[in-house]
Amino acid sequence: MSLSTGHMGSKPTASRAPGLVSPVLSPAGRRSLRQGLLAVVLPALVVAIWQMAGKDGSLFGGVLPTPDRAWQAWKIWAFGSTGLSLNPYSGTWLANLLFSAERVGKGFLAAILVAVPVGLAIGWNRIASGALDPTVQLLRPIPITAWLPFSIAVFGIRDMGAVFLIALGAFYPIVVNTAQGARDVERNLIRAAMMMGAGRWTILRRVVLPASLPSIFTGLRIGLGIAWTAVIVAEMVAVKSGLGYVLWDAYYVGRMDVVIADMATIGLLGLLSDRIILGIEGWVLKWRRLQSFHS
Amino acid sequence: MGTIAFDNVSKTFSGQTEVRALEGISLSIDEGEFVALLGPSGCGKSTLLNLLAGFEKITEGILLFDGKTVTRPGPDRGVVFQEAALFPWLNVWQNVIFGPQVQGISRAEYESRARELLKLVGLEAFAEALPVQLSGGMRQRVGIARVLAMSPRALLMDEPFGALDAQTRLSMQQLLLDVWQALNTTVLFVTHDIDEAILLSDRICVMSARPGRIVRTIPIALPRPRSIASLTSPEFVAYKAAIMSDMKVTHVPQT
């Protein structure tokens, strides 16, 4: 779309409201400003309605705090409070965030290190596919929540249990997408490499891997989403720190304002980490971006 | 170097239903000869080329390249594909040096030759460009340059200009004539375009379908060096008329 609508879309806006948008901005800059403003409208609307629907700082008879209360709770959670405070999480926001992020980082990295080679093997080699794929498909339907008791029994209430669940959850989408990417490599690209004297190992490294990267990145994005789900679930049950632990603990002691602030933190972290993957993808897959319609 | 010998070669594709793609193919090609395989789609001409390239295995008969049985693909037989089949994540330069690189040839050895080849195909200014940024004709020129970078003893070209527009095709044919006249490698060229076959080749093997056979071999004695100007010479037109009547190409619908 953007190929043609760039002009069609921005021209009428410019001529209708020349004073509204700074003339310094290029058409592309104006377009991204517009998209940015559009993105904020719905969340802002929801928060505003939520705020106005509340009475004395809460909704549903005191169950749900209004956004401003959640904001206050976050500020104390993040920066601590001067003087006496009843908030047991005071000043622990960054530490808990880092606990969760570190677990996600470790588990996700472990998942990548195992899933990408296994996926390439399944997609590229018939014997590896026959030996590994059925087992992967057999284990895949078991949700990570079902692995919780197993994980606690084996690893105890320790970091390793959370990292295990995250790695397991992220493993499946990465392995499945990588295998699909490796299976779908254009036959003539393989033939071209063979014709130029490349052996199987070289073809795997220099043709199958780069050709599979678009699918691999799809798997990474899905896997990262699951990793965040897994870390929250694991921390609610299997460890005593992190955003998931605070979330459940705050609920337990009736601090819904902290719960809301925690949920918002998780959402923003998930969004941020997805953007990071997207950024890396855009850089690694420049050739792909140039091919696409939206470039 | 670069001699090709098909001796009574047949190819059957097994599967749900067996397909007899080639039947009793006998064809020898001398060093430096330019042979075109001409025929309608589905006549097995690409299969014949794939056998020689080592992409497919023969079912019966003997297939020799330089006196040795063909078992697998190799850099002695450079293949130019119809859609170029460049690696989209590598730029033009990286595509051209891929062959020498994977064969473990040192940079000092391949670099100057690769630069010369880029110049020969008129793409020195595009060394850093990605395939997606090139036109179809430019991509195919990269496809030719990367094959020549390996100094193959034979070029196997599978309808390399089939997807190009008429004008680009003419300039590519001229380029190929120039390159071949300079290098004199053996060429096996698959095409369904009668003009192209006559213009380029020393000999045309006309094929028919189901099962694919070589039904006629026509030597083309047009003088060398040729250029696309030859397309309008009386000798050229005479060849074309003969081949068209041979292939039963008429403007009257067959009943």
Asked if A196 and B87 come within 8 Å (Cβ–Cβ), the reply is no
Given a cut of 70, whether residue B255 has pLDDT beyond it is: no
Residue A66 in domain: no
| Chain B residue at shortest CA distance from A290 | B132
Residues of chain B with C-beta less than 8 angstroms from the C-beta of A207: 87
Task: Report the C-alpha gap between B151 and B157 in whole angstroms.
Answer: 15
Asked if B89 and A192 come within 8 Å (Cβ–Cβ), the reply is no
A205 touches chain B (CB under 8 A): no
Picking from A164, A136, A129, A135, the residue whose alpha carbon sits closest to that of residue A235 is: A164
Do A270 and A204 belong to one domain? yes
Task: Report the C-alpha gap between A67 and A261 in whole angstroms.
Answer: 9
Contact present, A256 and A268 (Cβ < 8 Å): no
Q: What is the pLDDT of residue A5?
A: 40
| Chain A residue at shortest CA distance from B89 | A287
At which residue do the structure tokens 């097995």 appear? B44
Contact present, A123 and A235 (Cβ < 8 Å): no
Residue A209 in domain: yes
Tens of pLDDT along B19-61? Answer: 889 999 999 999 999 999 998 888 899 999 999 999 999 999 9
A208 touches chain B (CB under 8 A): no
Amino acid at B133: Q
Interior angle at CA A133, CA A131 and CA A139, nearest 5? 115
User: In whole numbers, what is the pLDDT of chain A averaged over residues?
Assistant: 87
Chain B nearest-CA distance from A194, in A, is: 6
Least confident of A19-28, B157-166, B169-178, B186-195: A19-28
Residues of chain B with CATH 3.40.50.300: 1-76+152-249
Q: Residues of B near A (CB-CB distance < 8 A)?
A: 53-55, 72-75, 77-79, 81, 83, 85-89, 98-99, 102-103, 130-133, 146, 150
Asked if B75 and A291 come within 8 Å (Cβ–Cβ), the reply is no
Residues of chain A with C-beta less than 8 angstroms from the C-beta of B74: 195, 197
Do A47 and A106 belong to one domain? no
- pLDDT (mean) for B109-131: 93
pLDDT confidence of A58, banded at 50, 70, 90?
Answer: confident
Residue A186 in domain: yes
Tens of pLDDT along A190-233? Answer: 999 999 999 999 999 999 999 999 999 999 999 999 999 999 99
Tens of pLDDT along A105-136? Answer: 999 999 999 999 999 999 999 999 999 999 99
Please state, as a whole number, how many other Cβ atoms lie within 10 Å of the Cβ of residue B170. 17
Residues of chain B with C-beta less than 8 angstroms from the C-beta of A288: 88-89
Q: What is the pLDDT of residue A261?
A: 93
Chain A nearest-CA distance from B232, in A, is: 36
Task: Report the C-alpha gap between A168 and B21 in whole angstroms.
Answer: 48
| Chain B residue at shortest CA distance from A212 | B89
Asked if A188 and B81 come within 8 Å (Cβ–Cβ), the reply is yes
Q: What is the pLDDT of residue B16?
A: 86
Nearest to A196 among B75, B83, B132 (CB): B75
Task: Report the C-alpha gap between B77 and B140 in whole angstroms.
Answer: 17
Q: Which helix (DSSP H) or strand (DSSP E) does residue A132 occupy?
A: helix A126-139
Asked if A192 and B83 come within 8 Å (Cβ–Cβ), the reply is no
Residue A105 in domain: yes
Residue A242 in domain: yes
Given a cut of 50, whether residue A12 has pLDDT beyond it is: no
Cβ-Cβ contacts under 8 Å for A4 (sequence gap 6 or more): none
Chain B nearest-CA distance from A248, in A, is: 46
Least confident of A76-80, A82-86, B206-210: A82-86
Asked if B73 and A287 come within 8 Å (Cβ–Cβ), the reply is no
Do A106 and A38 belong to one domain? no
| Chain B residue at shortest CA distance from A199 | B102
pLDDT confidence of A10, banded at 50, 70, 90?
Answer: very low
Do A170 and A30 belong to one domain? no
Q: Which fold has domain B1-76+152-249?
A: Rossmann fold (3.40.50)
Residue A78 in domain: no
Asked if A192 and B78 come within 8 Å (Cβ–Cβ), the reply is no
Nearest to A287 among B72, B88, B146 (CB): B88
Asked if B146 and A193 come within 8 Å (Cβ–Cβ), the reply is no
Residues of chain A with C-beta less than 8 angstroms from the C-beta of B102: 193, 196-199, 202, 206
Nearest to A195 among B53, B83, B132 (CB): B53
ipTM: 0.92
What string of DSSP letters covers B158-190? ESTTTTS-HHHHHHHHHHHHHHHHHH--EEEEE
Mutate which of B46, B76, B89, B146 to disrupt the A interface (most A C-beta within 10 Å)? B89
Please state, as a whole number, how many other Cβ atoms lie within 10 Å of the Cβ of residue A209. 20
Nearest to B74 among A192, A197, A290 (CB): A197
A196 touches chain B (CB under 8 A): yes
Chain A nearest-CA distance from B105, in A, is: 11
Nearest to B133 among A186, A188, A290 (CB): A290
Distances from the Cα of B163 to the Cαs of A61, B82, B198, in angstroms?
A: 71, 7, 19
Task: Report the C-alpha gap between B38 and B116 in whole angstroms.
Answer: 32
What range does the domain containing A25 cover? Answer: 2-53
CATH code for the domain of A267: 1.10.3720.10
Nearest to A207 among B81, B83, B87 (CB): B87
Tens of pLDDT along B231-253? Answer: 999 999 999 998 888 776 544 44
Asked if B54 and A194 come within 8 Å (Cβ–Cβ), the reply is yes
Residue A70 in domain: no
Nearest to A196 among B72, B99, B132 (CB): B99
- The total of structural domains in chain A comes to 2
The number of angstroms, rounded, from the C-alpha of A260 to the middle of its chain's C-alpha atoms is 19
